Amino acid sequence: MLTDILDLTVNYWPYFLKGTRMTVVLSVSAVILGVMAGCIAALMRLSRIKALNYIATAYVDVFRGTPLIVQLWIFYLQLTQFMTFPKFSLWGVSMDEFIPCLAALALNSGAYVSEIIRAGIQAVEKGQMEASRSLGMGHWMAMRLIIMPQAIKNILPAIGNEFVSMIKETAIIQYLGVADIMYCRNAVQMQTYQPLPTYYIAAVIYFLLTFFTSKGVNLFERRLKRSDRQAA
């Protein structure tokens, strides 16, 4: 078994490298867009305008309450009916496959990130807002300059963990023909008729990606705590 794994790794490493590259790019893009969507949704949920609150709550409930695979297929089938995508490809993946995957993953991530951001904002002492308002700041100015920077500092480790989760969740995009790690693993299996060794290789790649990402998040979190102690 170990010999088969090593042989497949040596002979088919371009396939796995291509899949790893796509997985990383899609994960990073989805988390960045998800943080943006989550920030907007969190502010809408904290808004005093009930309509915005209802819209954001519905968004979070729908995307957290339905399976990602269902969201992925709905985005793919719906967007390809009503949109014309750019006529170019990214590493062999056409935009009519890549964009729906990115949209589904980003909005799904945004629903979870919004709750993280909302909790981070609510964790900031209420006195911070009151002190800002006493200095003449408006609500949104105080939120932007005083509350959000403190909240972001508290939630950055959780955002890092969301990135770790997203790396694993992207495995679902293989069903739309996007050449991620699992899709490329399928291609190698079809050529070699060795399913088990290819699964081991994919598992090792995912483990390495999540392991080093987790270590980076932990290191960053320790540095934040050290800077807080020095500031105190």
Percent of the chain's residues with pLDDT above 90 = 31
pLDDT at residue number 91? 58
pLDDT at residue number 220? 77
Specify which of 105-114, 116-125, 217-226 reaches the highest per-range mean pLDDT: 105-114
Domain that holds residue 158: 2-231
Residues 155 and 116 sit within 8 Å (Cβ to Cβ): yes
- 196 or 130: which leads in pLDDT: 196
Tell me, what CATH number does 75's domain have? 1.10.3720.10
pLDDT-based confidence at residue 193 (cuts at 50, 70, 90): confident
Residue 87 has pLDDT above 70, yes or no: no
pLDDT at residue number 231? 55
Kindly report the pTM of this predicted structure: 0.84
pLDDT-based confidence at residue 92 (cuts at 50, 70, 90): low
- Structurally, how many domains does the chain consist of? 1
Residues 169 and 208 sit within 8 Å (Cβ to Cβ): no
pLDDT-based confidence at residue 145 (cuts at 50, 70, 90): confident
Average pLDDT over residues 103-109: 93
Residue 111 has pLDDT above 90, yes or no: yes
pLDDT in tens, 10-51: 888 888 998 898 899 899 999 999 999 998 999 898 888 889
Question: Please, what is the average pLDDT of the chain?
Answer: 84
Burial degree of 61 (CB within 10 A; 0-12, 13-18, 19+): exposed
pLDDT-based confidence at residue 214 (cuts at 50, 70, 90): confident
Residue 73 has pLDDT above 60, yes or no: yes
pLDDT at residue number 107? 94
User: Helix or strand or coil: residue 1?
Assistant: coil
Structure tokens belonging to residue 219? 């290191």
pLDDT at residue number 86? 62
- Find, among 79, 49, 92, the residue nearest to 184 by Cα: 92
Residues 148 and 165 sit within 8 Å (Cβ to Cβ): no
Structure tokens belonging to residue 232? 């105190």
